[in-house]
Structure 1
Amino acid sequence: MGCGADFAITLGFAIICLNCGLGSGTSLEPVTNVTWKSFNFRTTLQWAATSEDSVYTVRVSGEQSNWKKKPECTRSKITSCDLTNLIQNVADTYTAEVLTYSATKTEDVEEPPLKRSTAFQPLKQTDIGQATFELIEKNKTEVQLTIKDPLTFIKFSNNTFKTIRDIYGSNLEYIVFYWKDRSSGKKSLIAKDQDKRIKVEEGVTYCFSIQPHIKSPFKDGQESSVKCTRSQRDSPSDYGIGVYVLIIIGALLVIGIIIGVTVYLCRRKAVHNSAEMNPLKMVSA
């Protein structure tokens, strides 16, 4: 057999092998940088694509659950997948996989390239956001903080959302930070319930913020915005007698001006009416 025939056989064999490789999906590459992102138990899986011609399927499994997929994250070009509704058991530990497929081929590949995530435990690893609170001044020496627990993306059986207290129970408490206005001396105390009363000095403005604290598993949430009591120094009772005197003088001055203008206008009107009633008298005069 000649060299030309050998070359043709070799080329044909190479083409067949190349087609087999493409058909089996060996030319595809697994994704990289697979990471979990979770905030108040809303959890997404993110990754970096390796080819513009690839689509991805995500599946997740827990130690207490089987592999599951989301239709929105099946053969899609997206590079993140919200898995919250598939990991509602926050005490379980989950692992996810991202499978890579060709965007142009519709047939299934027996063993597509995949990248597996690290283990994720929502109860321990989700980030907790800010809580809000109402500041109520009960009297001159006592205030009350009424705290509203943050909502999560975990649902009850009736489809309403749970709060972090529903999930963490007695392991949830709040660190209350407070300080005198314009002072750098910040103090803190623990609020185990949603209502907390705090003693303050009369006539002094105090500012407050709160931060969720989970005792077990140990972690802190985000600190809230700051709220301050009304400044009692700005109330009318604290201005002194001099301010009241000035207010009274100003009021009397305004009243005097109004009376003077009114009298002047009445006199002018009276003169005008008299002239109309006695025109001859006005002429002879």
Structure 2
Amino acid sequence: MGSAAITLGCVLICLHCRLSSGALLKPVTNVKWKSFNFFTSLEWEETTENATYTVRVSGIKSNWIKKPECTQIQTTRCDLTNVLQNVSDTYTAEVLSYPPGDTEENEDPPVAKSPPIQLLKDTMIGQPSFTVTRNSTSEIQLKIDDPYTYIRFLNHTRKTLRDIYGSGLEYKVFYWKDGTSGKKIKIAKEQVILMDVDPGFSYCFSIQPHITSPYKKGQESEGKCSSSEDRSPFEDIGTGAYALMALGVLLLIVVVIGITVCMCRRKTPHTLAEANPLTA
């Protein structure tokens, strides 16, 4: 009985040592990138319950980097946006696995490598926002806002797609008469687009970013429609303003009537006196 207990104890100690050294750990699986408008994260699937992970990244033009927020973590996702700011570089990441409760990183942990990512061609591009304004019966103006990205200037302000792609950014404008299904397409590089339209019809628009180099296309926006006629100069005046205008007109009428009545009362005695001179 005593020898069996000793044997079991030895086995448990050996298992603990093997786990502490990482021998029982397996590399994580399904390591993949997700990038949207240059917001980029790495995700993976765990193979050992309660293991901790450290992520490191290198580029063709940069050395290995460990992000502090992605060191000894228990989650299976790491935001690497701020270390992937060189959008023309090609990056590869590695996920290192460590035993549960291990506070020190072993020298030879299981490692899983990501596929390479090159953000200029691999990030997904979101849909742009835009406004539709009817300038006249025959002209509609579209104003497009270049989507912001998560790549930053040295002063930490965010760059737009135009800041990154320059002349390679263009917009595909889909337009059609409201209530019809026949769509036409116009390609434009500028943010303000003037569209010639038929008078008396409402037009609808949707816009999709296109990158010409490297070639890729973004998400198409939801449709927006114009009015069918010119904008009225009073179109932007609210209900309250109309009420004030009506009150002002009413007061003006009351004042005019009051002045008229007063003048009539003053004139009446003189008129009577002239009509009956013997009463004077």
By how many angstroms is 1:50 displaced? 1.4
Rounded to whole Å, the distance in 1 between the matches of 2:132 and 2:34 is 33
Change (3 A) 1:8 1:183: closer
Q: What are the superposed Cα offsets for residues 69-109 of structure 1, whole Å, 9 maximum, x if unpaired?
A: 11211111011000000000000000000000012222331
Rounded to whole Å, the distance in 1 between the matches of 2:211 and 2:199 is 33
Could you tell me whether the CA contact under 8 Å between 2:176 and 2:184 is conserved in 1? yes
Q: What are the superposed Cα offsets for residues 166-209 of structure 1, whole Å, 9 maximum, x if unpaired?
A: 00000000000000111110000101111111110011111111
Question: Within 5 Å, which residues of 2 pair with 1:151-166?
Answer: 151-166=148-163
Match of 2:143 in 1: 146
By how many angstroms is 1:138 displaced? 1.5
Match of 2:205 in 1: 208
Match of 1:70 in 2: 67
Change (3 A) 1:200 1:13: same
Rounded to whole Å, the distance in 1 between the matches of 2:67 and 2:118 is 19
Could you tell me whether the CA contact under 8 Å between 2:176 and 2:205 is conserved in 1? yes
Q: What percent identity do the matched residue pairs reach?
A: 59
Could you tell me whether the CA contact under 8 Å between 2:40 and 2:79 is conserved in 1? yes
Match of 1:50 in 2: 47
By how many angstroms is 1:225 displaced? 1.8
Q: 1:59 aligns with which of 56, 60, 77?
A: 56
DSSP 3-state at the match of 2:63: coil
Q: TM-score, normalised by structure 2?
A: 0.77
Match of 1:184 in 2: 181
Rounded to whole Å, the distance in 2 between the matches of 1:108 and 1:194 is 51
Match of 1:102 in 2: 99
**Residue 211 of structure 2 is aligned to residue 221 of structure 1:** no
Change (3 A) 1:218 1:11: same
By how many angstroms is 1:33 displaced? 0.7
Deviates more, 1:52-61 or 1:12-21: 12-21
Rounded to whole Å, the distance in 1 between the matches of 2:160 and 2:50 is 42
Rounded to whole Å, the distance in 1 between the matches of 2:8 and 2:164 is 65
Rounded to whole Å, the distance in 2 between the matches of 1:49 and 1:14 is 26
Match of 1:22 in 2: 19
Match of 1:90 in 2: 87
Q: Counterpart of 1:158 in structure 2: which amino acid?
A: N
By how many angstroms is 1:139 displaced? 1.0
By how many angstroms is 1:29 displaced? 1.2
**Residue 77 of structure 2 is aligned to residue 80 of structure 1:** yes
**Residue 125 of structure 2 is aligned to residue 128 of structure 1:** yes
Q: What are the superposed Cα offsets for residues 126-153 of structure 1, whole Å, 9 maximum, x if unpaired?
A: 0000101111212110111111100000
By how many angstroms is 1:211 displaced? 0.5
Q: CA RMSD in A?
A: 2.4
Match of 2:116 in 1: 119
Change (3 A) 1:78 1:14: closer
Rounded to whole Å, the distance in 2 between the matches of 1:15 and 1:227 is 68
Rounded to whole Å, the distance in 1 between the matches of 2:219 and 2:5 is 69
Q: Counterpart of 2:137 in structure 1: which amino acid?
A: K
Q: Counterpart of 1:189 in structure 2: which amino acid?
A: K
Rounded to whole Å, the distance in 2 between the matches of 1:95 and 1:72 is 18
* Runs of at least 4 residues off by over 6 Å: 7-16
By how many angstroms is 1:227 displaced? 1.3
DSSP 3-state at the match of 1:99: strand
Change (3 A) 1:8 1:198: closer
